[in-house]
Amino acid sequence: MASDLAARRGRLRQRLAELDVDAALITGLANIRYLSGFTGSNAALVVYADGSDVFCTDGRYRTQSAGQVPDLERVIERNCARALAERLGAENVARIGYESHSVTVDGLDELRETAPDATLSSVREAVESLRAVKDEDEIALLREACAIADRALADLIDRNSIRTGRSEIEVGRELDGLMLEHGAEAVSFETIVASGPNSAVPHHRPTGRDLEAGDFVKFDFGALYGGYHSDMTRTYVLGQPAEWQREIYAVVHEAQRLGTAALSIAADVRHVDAAARDHVKASGYGEEFGHGLGHGVGLEIHEAPAVSYLGAGTLAERMTVTVEPGVYLEGRGGVRIEDILVVRAEGPELLTQTGKDLTVL
Amino acid sequence: MASDLAARRGRLRQRLAELDVDAALITGLANIRYLSGFTGSNAALVVYADGSDVFCTDGRYRTQSAGQVPDLERVIERNCARALAERLGAENVARIGYESHSVTVDGLDELRETAPDATLSSVREAVESLRAVKDEDEIALLREACAIADRALADLIDRNSIRTGRSEIEVGRELDGLMLEHGAEAVSFETIVASGPNSAVPHHRPTGRDLEAGDFVKFDFGALYGGYHSDMTRTYVLGQPAEWQREIYAVVHEAQRLGTAALSIAADVRHVDAAARDHVKASGYGEEFGHGLGHGVGLEIHEAPAVSYLGAGTLAERMTVTVEPGVYLEGRGGVRIEDILVVRAEGPELLTQTGKDLTVL
């Protein structure tokens, strides 16, 4: 794992020349974790062109960082970005890169004061673009994060816990507890349980509403494992499905299949989105699918690439993305189906294993 | 509640003149929640001197925001800060305030481009300083968040779940599950279970280490309820305590009592810290108490005021703070005891109810 981390820093180092900087001050926590292995909540990292990388965290993490970041020089200071900026200033580093999407205005002012002679410029999302392509260790963690979520949902169904008379909140809490039991470090994000008309709200927060016969019940949830986020959505029907429910379920199911089939190396993300969206549009529900098809997922729940009509760029081998079309009929109900997949030369690898056929509970 | 929210915006509005701005663009999510009631993950808010406040979120939160923010004009756009900046630009607002500690460098560039004729200046932590003083509705939510954590820990003990042969991770997951059962929306932060030598690490992440007879077992955890974070620490002994364990437990216990007793209106936060720290120092463990005494807590787990030798300023009525001294003997074990208290004219109100006498399990 230490060699993976060094290789990641090496890939960033290779980019420093084209970014016109001698060193990059990394302050985004997910980026720091990616490059150093450190999992705490306060840190900064400098990657130098000459390889003399240095890491900073505060005293709370002295022991933890010794274990997680043994191969880097470590500085222990409360204000990590300032401590490393002072060092860069003292070393007279001429061109310092920083992350303009994560450094605050106050943070940049502090950097300017601390290294007044340096030329400061943004490295933009250089680390995020590296992170979009996973290594196999990362994929293994995502696979397990997905498996935990699959197992928790299977248990919830086996226990007959998704039933009339239970509230969205109750069912959601049970699902969260099952993920923890199956080994999740935490939930990936606030679990969505959306029943009946609430299922038409793409991002519904669970309420005290009791599940009723005839409801769509939509679950969007995931497990955190080794720092990696799973993310899946399944939509069930309680009792006999109505014709409109069968119809939109079939549309979303087929769109999800088509979007998945379009995942290939060098595919334009807008074309992948269109592969699913065109089917939804042709079925007459284009207006009811108001979000992008998917997103990259890893150390953050939403990361590059955006698989969307608003996105840009192409897929690459070992990108991990969600495919999650939905159709939402306001006031009635909605369906979304979401898996995580790995882009592979031989065709996408499916990490989410739960079945997708219309399931009546 | 809507009237509370309007009152909060009114308090910020009163500060706009001294901040030399005609409107404040609020982008920190906790600040937005505080001022609008909105709980989603993407939003922005403008508070105007003339009261024509406007809120923005994206399409995922259309329904939710209609329910949570009924009294404000709502804009639905993906890039909320930009949408509201465009509006401020179109309205020719002369002086725009922004939050320089939460707006990123890229965000400020976008604001400059979108409202090129306006004078931009930071409102600093104006909203955070309002948030430091809670209203009674907020205190009621914190009280319940504390009660949930108390009940979960009591269950854990009643079930004899803190016992030799179980790992830190296992015990931590059970505690997390119990908080959810007792009504937590989520855990406040990653639960710390630190046993034996690990208890000497102030911020230890649970490991597979099995609890052993003679261990200190330190729990630092909390429940999220209504958006408010509880935060408590208790340290137990498994089996017969050794003399050194009795000694440092007694030191920390007394320091915690002294720090609590020093919480009063207008008390300097450094004096409160010193009230506890002086006892630890006099007992010979000054070097082993390497962090501040406490911190404000509310919509964020760490917020103003810092109750620390590094802090500044005085306490005010209805501030909610932790008091959490600790003594950590590297390689052997450590003790921390932490409660949340409300600063009151009649003396501090204790929200954390779990007892603090040395408890042997």
Interval A162-175 mean pLDDT: 96
Question: Within this chain, do residues B142 and B155 fall inside the same structural domain, yes or no?
Answer: yes
Whether the predicted pLDDT of A208 surpasses 90: yes
Residue A173 has pLDDT above 80, yes or no: yes
Average of per-residue pLDDT values in chain B:
96
pLDDT in tens, B2-61: 778 999 999 999 999 999 999 999 999 999 999 999 999 999 999 999 999 999 999 888
User: pTM score, two decimals?
Assistant: 0.82
First to last CA, chain B: 43
- pLDDT band per the 50, 70, 90 thresholds, residue B126: very high
Residues of A in Cβ contact (< 8 Å) with B204? 63-64
CATH number at residue B273: 3.90.230.10
For residue B59, which residues of chain A lie inside 8 Å, CB to CB? 202, 290-291
Per-residue pLDDT, B3: 76
What is the rounded average pLDDT of the residues A252-281? 98
Whole-number percent of chain B with pLDDT over 90: 95
The pLDDT value recorded for residue A198 is: 96
**B227 found inside a domain:** yes
Shared-domain flag, residues B140 and B89: no
- φ/ψ region of A7 (left if φ > 0, alpha if ψ in -120 to 50, else beta) reads alpha
Whole-number Å distance between alpha carbons of A93 and A119: 9
**pLDDT (mean) for B163-189:** 95
Q: How many degrees, rounded to 5, is the angle at CA B35 between CA B29 and CA B38?
A: 55
**CATH code where residue B96 lies:** 3.40.350.10
Q: Is residue B317 one of the residues assigned to a domain?
A: yes
* Interface predicted TM-score of the whole assembly (ipTM), two decimals: 0.81
Model confidence at A203, pLDDT cuts 50, 70, 90, reads confident
Overall average pLDDT of the A29-56 stretch: 97
Which of residues A131, A159, A178 is at a domain's end? A131
What share of chain A in percent tops pLDDT 70? 99
Do A43 and A166 belong together in one domain? no
d(CA B4, CA A340): 42
Å from B227 to nearest chain A CA? 12
> Tokens representing A235?
């939509």
Which pLDDT does position A204 carry in this prediction? Answer: 87
Measured in whole angstroms, how far is the alpha carbon of residue A81 from the centre of its chain?
Answer: 25
A168 and A58 inside one domain: no
C-alpha distance from A304 to closest chain B C-alpha (Å): 17
| pLDDT on residue B59 | 83
A251 is in which domain, residue-wise? Answer: 136-350
pLDDT at A59: 83
Q: What is the mean pLDDT of residues A311-336?
A: 97
A168 and A105 in a common domain: no
At B163, is the secondary structure helix, strand, or coil?
coil
Helix, strand, or coil here: B223?
Answer: strand
Comparing C-alpha atoms, which of A180, A288, A61 is closest to residue B170? A180
| pLDDT reading at B315 higher than 80 | yes
Residue A67 contacts B, CB cutoff 8 Å: no
Q: What is the DSSP letter of A280?
A: H
Between chains, do A203 and B61 touch, taking CB under 8 Å as contact?
yes
Q: Is residue A356 part of a domain?
A: no
Q: Which residues of B touch A181 (CB under 8 A)?
A: 173, 177
pLDDT at B60 (0 to 100): 80
d(CA B295, CA B41): 25
What pLDDT is attached to residue B1? 62
* Mean pLDDT within A80-86: 95
Please tell me the predicted confidence (pLDDT) of residue A1.
62
> Final residue of a domain: which of A99, A131, A163?
A131
Tell me which chain B residue has its CA closest to the CA of residue A63.
B201
Does residue A319 surpass a pLDDT of 90? yes
Count: domains in chain A: 2
Q: Are both A50 and A14 inside the same structural domain? A: yes
Please give the structure tokens belonging to residue B207.
């490991």
Residues A8 and A65 in one domain: yes
Residues B290, A63: contact at Cβ < 8 Å?
Answer: no
What's the pLDDT score for residue B138?
A: 97
Strands B186-187 and B223-225: antiparallel
SS3 A10: helix
The sign one gets for the Cα dihedral A17, A21, A23, A25 is negative
Give the tens place of pLDDT for each residue, A276-303. 999 999 999 999 998 999 999 999 999 9
Residues A145 and A65 in one domain: no
Which residues are A236's β-sheet partners? A217
Neighboring chain A residues of B291 at a CB cutoff of 8 Å: 59-60
Tens digit of pLDDT for each residue in A239-249? 999 999 999 99
Distances (CA, A) of B292 to A154, B219, B349: 45, 18, 21
- The pLDDT tens digits for A127-154 are 999 999 999 999 999 999 999 999 999 9
Indicate the average pLDDT of chain A: 96
How far is A351 from A232, CA to CA, in rounded Å?
10
pLDDT mean over A176-194: 94
Q: Is there a domain that residue A358 lies in?
A: no
pLDDT tens profile A192-201: 999 999 999 8
Q: What's residue B12's pLDDT?
A: 98
Angstrom distance (rounded) from CA A209 to CA A199: 12
**pLDDT tens digits, B272-306:** 999 999 999 999 999 999 899 999 999 999 999 99
Q: Which residues contact A335 (CB under 8 A, 6 or more apart)?
A: A199, A216, A218, A235, A245, A248, A249, A252, A326, A327, A328
The pLDDT of residue A62 is: 86
Question: Who's near A267: CB < 8 A, 6+ residues apart?
Answer: A314, A315
Nearest chain B alpha carbon to A125: B106
Which residue, of A131, A153, A169, is where some domain finishes? A131
B203 close contact with A: CB closer than 8 A: yes
Share of chain A above pLDDT 90, in %: 95
